[in-house]
Structure 1
Amino acid sequence: MRKNIAVAAGLWLAGALLALAQAAPIAVVAAESTYGVIAEAIGGPYVRVTSIIRNPNVDPHQFEASPATARTVARAAIVVMNGLGYDDWMRKLLAANPAPGRAVVVAAALAPALVMADRNPHLFYDPRVGNLVASGLAALLAKRDPAHAADFARNLQTFEQGTLQVETAARRLSAQHPKLAVTATEPVYGYMLRLLGWRSAGEAFQFNVMNGTEPSPSVVARYQDALRQRRVALLIYNKQVSEPLTQRMRDIARQAGVPTVGVDEFVPPGTGYAAWLLDSLQAVRQALAKGAR
């Protein structure tokens, strides 16, 4: 009798521990808030998401991880990062804090066919990449928490409906302004420009700025001439970066009557992924309409 009671108690305890484990939110750490909001959209209340870089004023290229960041990553069940050298600090943290059961989602590895030949790291501006990350997360979450697999699947469907709206908006904008030549202070918006079918001019200048390399005088001269002679329809600048050279280019654009639009390197807090992309397209549409007057 005592043996039966002990077995029953053991089974009850095991079941209670299993239920508790399933009830606890899955710890997800995103290198940038762009991927954090995707994880939140898919996981809902069944995940606890920490985005390491979430302040819109932080330059991801210059970010340095702290010991507190390392501890957060060490406790993660799932880590989501960009790849392409954009967040190599995360790779170092993962190597320093190995965990056999931890899953790592690298956006660039999910979408090798979508990575530009110049290996522009800002691939999160392509909604198709967002879909791949969301789908990968849904599969991982369902594996770790099968009781809520249907919830993750529904959330993924809702997410994909949002990115479909982005692609539709991009097609409409492209039809209104086909095959534009535009430029940027950095190639942050390059993947969206590709989706729009627009040509990105002055890329030598853009990549120099992104990589912290001083552009040559000839590169600067060509870039300035394109603005002054209005050979480009739009100048896109990175809101996270403010330095004399890029500010001068923005001033030249305004003096020449070239519209300018600021974009973020990652989703600001409180904004959904699709809404973020749609907001940027709306800003571009309004700038072009204003410039055409």
Structure 2
Amino acid sequence: MHKFKKISFLIFLGSIIFILTGCNSQSNNPKKSINVTTSLNFYGEVAKDVLGNHGTVNSIINNPNVDPHDFEPKSSDAKNVSKTNIMVYNGLGYDSWAESLTSNNSNIKNINVGALMGKRDGDNPHIWYNTDTMKALAYDLAKQFSKLQPENKKAFEQNAQEYVNKLKPIDNTIKDIKKSKTNKPVAVSEPVFDYSLEKFGYKIADKNFESAIEKDNDPAPKDIRQLQNDIKDHKLAFFVVNKQVNSKIVTNLAELAKQNNVPIVKVTETKPDNDKTYLEWMNNQYRQVLNIQKNHSLK
């Protein structure tokens, strides 16, 4: 699932800005109901929980098969965004199209999740794999909603806290992983899962390899050989593979890992349809790691 392709985006952006300008007078009208738009559905999930019945939330990308990097918004997306109060997007170059949708409308409050977490362009954009990101977003949404509806401030704050409390099972799983982790590093096909690995306390063995795959480049032969040797010599705790990416190099390495009994953790960059919530999505992936560690300790 790769990566920044903006060939036709600039042309399309002109029409979007025109639409936003035409609808700008409508966005100046006060709204009793809060209207939120998010670029990604898992951010929309947080917004819905915090907002409750005090408004509506629309997520532009709901399909797990859509690549957020390459997504080009429709004119209908622009129209919907023109009516919104708050726009939530990932930032860090991941969904630049979302930020552009609001560039001509000063009445829309933008929440750049990457900036909220103190990250800068060039940093790993997959910040939702740090559960602290979702908590920070929940609290910030409560703050922003309270500005629009001061009379419901306590409700928003309570909703945010309840959402954060719902993530406690993930935090508990992370603690269990940290307790039983091995001292071996892990290899990854690309840096999708890195923030979670950092939470677990694991070091990443193939930084150059993952960076090349992330940028749609072929890894250097020496980096491939090093990863192959690490697999054959059983120097890795496990190999993390983004199963949404079709890469012959990664497929061959995953097969080599199977042949050498190196466990594979399969992750996804976007929330699968079969996972109803962010909590289920994360927990299903984290449980893979925990089960690998438990099986290792029994040997």
Q: Work out whether the TM-score is over 0.5.
A: yes
Q: Normalised by the size of structure 1, how large is the TM-score?
A: 0.84
SS in 1 for 2:187: strand
CA RMSD for the aligned pairs? Answer: 2.2
Q: State whether structure 2 residue 241 is matched by structure 1 residue 237.
A: yes
Which residue of the other structure, out of 259, 274, 277, is the alignment partner of 1:272?
277
SS at match of 2:156: helix
Cα 1:183–1:110 shift into 2, 3 Å = same
**Rg comparison, structure with higher value:** 1
Cα 1:162/1:178, change in 2 over 3 Å: farther
Task: Give % identity.
Answer: 27
Secondary structure of the residue that 2:80 maps to in structure 1?
helix
Equivalent residue letter for 1:217: P
Match of 1:34 in 2: 42
2:105 is paired with a residue whose SS is coil
Asked if structure 1 preserves the Cα contact closer than 8 Å seen for 2:113 and 2:137, the reply is yes
Q: Deviations over 1:218-273 (max 9, x none)?
A: 12221222222221111111132122222122111111111112112233456333
* Aligned AA (2:256): I
Report the number of matched residues: 268
2:67 maps to 1:59:
yes
Matched, 1:125 2:129: yes
The one-letter amino acid paired with 2:106 is: P
SS at match of 2:204: strand
State the AA in 1 paired with 2:129.
Y
- Offset at residue 116 of structure 1 (A): 9.1
Higher helix content, 1 or 2: 1
Residue among 104, 108, 111 paired with 2:114: 108
Matches within 5 A, 1:220-235: 220-235=224-239
**1:9-65: per-residue Cα shift (whole Å, max 9, x none)?**
xxxxxxxxxxx943x3x2211111121111112112223222222222222223232
1:38–1:231 distance in 2 versus 1, CA, 3 Å = same
Whichever residue aligns with residue 44 of structure 2, its letter is G
Q: Give TM-score, length-normalised by structure 2.
A: 0.82
Q: Contact 2:89 / 2:95 at 8 angstroms: preserved in 1?
A: yes
1:52 is matched by which residue type in structure 2? I
Return the alpha-carbon distance in structure 2 between the equivalents of residues 118 and 224 of structure 1. Answer: 28
Q: CA deviation at 1:160?
A: 1.6
Q: Provide closer, same or farther for how the CA distance between residues 81 and 117 of structure 1 changes in structure 2, counting only shifts above 3 A.
A: closer
Q: Name the SS for the 1:188 alignment partner.
A: coil
Match of residue 12 from structure 1 = none
* Structure 2 residue runs without a partner (length 5+): 1-29
Deviations 1:114-169 (A, max 9, x none): x4997111111111111111111111112112233222111111112123332232
2: CA distance, partners of 1:89 / 1:59 = 12
Distance 2:187 2:120 in 1: 17
Letter in 2 for 1:262: K
